[in-house]
Structure 1
Amino acid sequence: MYFAALLARTEDGWEASDTDLDDVETLSDLTDLAHEASVDDDTVLVLIEQEGAWFGVVRVDGEEDPRIYVSDAAAAARSSYGEILLTDELLGRDPGDDADLDALDLDGTEDGEPDASSSDDEDDAAPSADAAPSGPIGDSAVLVDLGVTVKELLALESGDALGEIAEVLGVAEVLETVR
């Protein structure tokens, strides 16, 4: 089960709104959604969680590039919403890496040449370099100036991480109204 909410900072505190991500296909779409919720280009947090598996925080401050934190990249990679957050830049890949896939043979080698590192036992094969790493990825300092330390963010369990973040921000009740 997924939950997504926008928290927009205003002069009077934080305003929360439930967010439908059905029409969001890219990080750019998500950033545009955050900009629409922004008051005077102030901070907007997009909080996304897949219950028990992973959570993500996207922070948009005015026209700056979004800052992203994902609690478990491997779990998020198996999720359509998680894939939105796991950009090439975040994963440390060159944006053009996928363009060369057409040049690969079905076994993943170029021109049908055997892969020198392949073994006879497919189960023992190492994960692809493009695979999302297990564990946290992104800007772990994304919420430091709002009161959530790097250590606290990294220690959050996926169960109710968004509730704990909201508690530190002082908006737990506001978040619960849209949950």
Structure 2
Amino acid sequence: MPYFTALLSRNGGGQWRARDVDVEGHEDVESLTEAVRTASGGDAQALLLLEHEDEWFALARVDDGEDTRVFVSDPAAAAASPYGPALGLDPEVDEDDDPSGDADVVADAGIPAEELLRLAGEDGVGVSEAVAAVAEAAGFGEVLDAMR
């Protein structure tokens, strides 16, 4: 599995639903945001998960009327990927491999910033385990498992 992407959305406090979105080819965060908003069918909240084998993961959250919030476990590796521009990363600028972005991106879903940073850090768990921990805490573990 080179890359795994999943878009989940929900309206209000309702159930998470799997959605289809093409995340390749977006030149910037704004373009990705528009694709996520369209694919989420007007739901108030959408969370895009990107995972590259056991190298890095990213979370991009799009809430109604708010700017997109992005967290990346390894910005240098993600910047070098086809998804770098869509995540707002540039390989000539983002050379750090320490987690960066909005670590509070899923705090209201049960993963505080400190825990997300721990999961994403060198001493954390593997990429798939980190994504699974986020999914379980946020209440969409079964939906994500079905998408894999």
Q: TM-score range by the shorter chain?
A: 0.7 to 0.9
Deviations 1:76-100 (A, max 9, x none): 1221113321347xx9xxxxxxxxx
* Cα deviation, residue 18, structure 1: 4.6
CA contact (8 A) 2:9 2:43 kept: no
| DSSP-derived class of the 1:80 partner | coil
Let me know the Cα RMSD of the aligned residues.
Answer: 2.2
Larger-Rg structure: 1
Read off the aligned partner of 1:2 and give its amino acid letter. Y
Secondary structure class of the residue paired with 1:8: strand
Identify the residue that residue 132 of structure 1 maps to in structure 2. Answer: 95
How many residues in Structure 1 have an aligned counterpart in Structure 2? 140
How far apart in 2 are the matches of 1:24 and 1:140? Answer: 23
* Counterpart in the other structure of 1:9: 10
Aligned counterpart, 2:142: 173
SS of corresponding position for 2:30 = helix
Provide TM-score, normalisation by structure 2. 0.83
Structure 1 unaligned residues grouped into runs of 5+? 92-127
Alignment deviations for residues 61-87 of structure 1 (CA, whole Å, 9 cap, x no partner): 112110110001111122111332134
Shift, 1:51, TM fit: 1.1
Moved over 4 A (4+): none
- Identity between Structure 1 and Structure 2 (%): 41
**Structure 1 residues 138, 169: CA separation in 2 closer, same or farther (over 3 Å shift)?**
same
What residue in structure 2 maps to residue 147 of structure 1? 110
Check the 8 A contact 2:19/2:40 in 1, yes or no: no
Mapping for residues 59-98 of structure 1, pairs under 5 Å: 59-87=61-89
Q: CA deviation at 1:19?
A: 3.6
SS in 2 for 1:160: helix
Unaligned runs of 5+ residues in structure 2 are 120-125
1:158 and 1:77 map into 2 onto residues whose CA distance is 17
Distance 1:161 1:76 in 2: 16
TM-superposed deviation, 1:40: 4.5
Instruction: Tell me by how many angstroms 1:143 deviates.
Output: 0.7
State how far apart, in whole Å, the 2-side matches of 1:172 and 1:79 are: 26
Partner of 1:162: 131
Contact 1:73 1:86 survives alignment (8 Å): no
Q: 1:38 aligns with which of 40, 64, 86?
A: 40
* 1:26 counterpart residue number: 28
Q: Is the 8 A contact 1:37 1:44 kept in 2?
A: no
